[in-house]
Amino acid sequence: MDFRAAVEAIHQEKIAPIYLLLGTENYLIQSFRDTMITHIIGSSDDADDMNLMTFDLEETPLDDVMVEANTLSFFSGRRMIWAKNAAFLTGSQSKTNTEELLAYLDAPNPDVTLCFTAPYEKLDKRKKIVKRMLKDTTVVDVSPVKQNEIERYIKAYVANEAKQIAPQTMKLFLERTGYELSHAMHEIEKLCLYVGDGSEITAEDVRAVIPPSLDDNIFNLATYIIERKTSDAIRLYRTLVAERQQPIAILALLLSEFRLYTQINLLKKQGYGQNEMARTLQSHPYRIKMAMKKTARYETSQFMAAYQSLVRLDYRIKTGRVEPDFGIEQFILQFTQAQPIRYRR
């Protein structure tokens, strides 16, 4: 079930006995939990050990959860059991006893709302318990949302705070927050507080409150290299080093970027579209889109040569054969000035 549809049903007091939240978007998971607490218990202030119990199934046996789920209430009103990290639904936990849960699915306790979270990329659908959970519980999709959905959440929050954010500022904001909903919602709260009585969130506000992450800077560094902006690339690299970023960490992220460029060019030749690439490479569609634009005028062989050069440079630095700053700046100069990438041993 779509997240919005599930929340709307709860607001209409259509609360299921058992929920299974599938996905890794923490903001949606927490929002669902808060909504459930409001409608089952009243508020987080009213929650206590009697009406709200939380278990981490990576640390607590499932049997303990089922004991509580089957326990009759000693007071009026429903109880809520939040069982997070249901690893027994994946292939990582094969010895978990699921017989009690299988029986419970046939006859849930009417006084209890039982919620499982499964923040994993995939479940082991060969398991009987997984098949039953997918069939006999209310499954809620809490997987990472697309860019337009993130914008919708941000716009709704900003409007609720009686503020505005221009499209270009929104773009900068999403870039600074990595197109991740949880991060974006956390930062938009800070931004609204920073703006105070002001009615508009500006680009200057975004830059003041949300500094670029190392990933953002590496993205920009790779962009300068691809666009052959030698001085900008060298200047940014030296700024990162001055900020005490380790050259070996910068190199590792550059390796990741150039590996992505190589993979994108290879998949493009095979007829893959942007969304197919994102699924195959398990990367955000926006990152794929931007990388495709940057790499369009290059041959795959150029990126393959650059990537292999970075792999060799990484080896030479780690074995003490080359000084890190010299090696990385030499790579930047070779690529941006279209010099042959040499495979030095």
What confidence tens digit (pLDDT) does each residue in 205-237 have? 999 999 888 888 888 898 899 888 999 999 999
Question: Could you list the pLDDT tens digit for every one of the 345 residues in the chain?
Answer: 899 999 999 999 999 999 999 998 999 999 999 999 998 887 666 656 678 899 999 899 999 999 999 988 766 578 899 999 999 999 876 688 899 999 999 999 999 999 999 999 889 999 999 999 999 999 999 998 888 889 999 999 999 999 999 999 999 999 888 888 999 999 999 999 999 988 899 999 999 999 888 888 888 898 899 888 999 999 999 999 998 999 999 999 999 989 998 899 889 888 888 888 888 887 777 778 878 887 777 778 888 888 899 999 999 999 999 999 999 999 999 888 875 444 334
Is this model's pTM higher than 0.75 or not?
Answer: no
Q: From 14, 53, 13, 37, select the one nearest 138 (Cα to Cα).
A: 14
Q: How far apart are CA 307 and CA 253, in angstroms?
A: 12
